[in-house]
Amino acid sequence: MIMTTQSPLDLPAELRSQFPNVLVHRLTTPEEQTALGLGSSQEQLATGQVLVYQDGQEVAEGQVNLPDWWGKE
């Protein structure tokens, strides 16, 4: 099961602990990073940049391919 959210703070800690896999669209505050057990020292990620964590430890870093229409005016 995977939980997906824009902010891990949307759910109580007791519920967050039930999901071993989490897809977070955006972490914007140190509190959100801490809620996932990542600490609060992560830099703001660029658009499309991803960090994969398992059990609070980084296991991979990557880049999502953005759609062709991204960034067009």
What pLDDT digit, counting tens, does each position of 7-54 carry? 888 888 888 778 777 777 677 778 887 877 776 656 677 778 877 777
Q: What is the pLDDT of residue 60?
A: 80
CA distance 3 to 28: 18
pTM of the model: 0.55
pLDDT score at 12: 84
Closest CA to 67 of 52, 42, 41, 47: 47
CA distances from 52 to 25, 49, 55, 72 (A): 12, 10, 10, 28
* Angstrom distance (rounded) from CA 13 to CA 52: 20
